[in-house]
Amino acid sequence: MQYRRHYHKGASYFLTVNLADRSGDLLIQHVNVLRNAFKIVKQKHPFHIDAIVILPDHLHMLCTMPSDDADFSKRIKLIKYYFSHSIAKTERISKSRQKKGERGIWQRRFWEHCIRNEADYRMHIDYIHMNPVRHGYVERVQDWQYSSFHRFVADGLLPVDWAD
């Protein structure tokens, strides 16, 4: 049985993208490079980042696609590409990846979930913001700097002591 992604124009998606080496902290080391990759991709292929958290070895994002487009896979592929081509080659690259001209930074696949309703949307935003606490990086959500939680607080959507 072959898995097929379901693309829905204008839909919101929860996405998880992992590094191949889950023991490192490459995304935090190069967070500005990652942010720039997002910026480039958003300029060429717009989408809205509703919520995001960047952790050392993976990121979670809830994004909404434009009403005339649904290709989140293209956006993830390009984010990986721009990030990978902007940092030095220090990772081990398998022979199969070498044959395909790939780097060894990212896991090839990513997790996606199409948001079904408002409760699902809110649950995934909470999951994103709580993730640094769940992984033990911080004790309080507000202490993780690489999170859209701070934008939610600034916009008055969440109190600074949310989830304490």
Could you list the active site residues? 146
Whole-angstrom Cα distance, residue 74 to residue 80?
10
Whole-angstrom Cα distance, residue 89 to residue 97?
13
| Tokens linked to 43 | 């300029």
Using an 8 Å Cβ cutoff, are 38 and 49 in contact?
Answer: yes
Sheet holding 58-64, edge to edge: 48-54, 58-64, 12-18, 111-114
Look up tokens 């090839």; give the residue.
108
Residue 63 CB burial class (10 angstroms; 0-12, 13-18, ≥19): buried
Hey, is 112 helix, strand or coil? strand
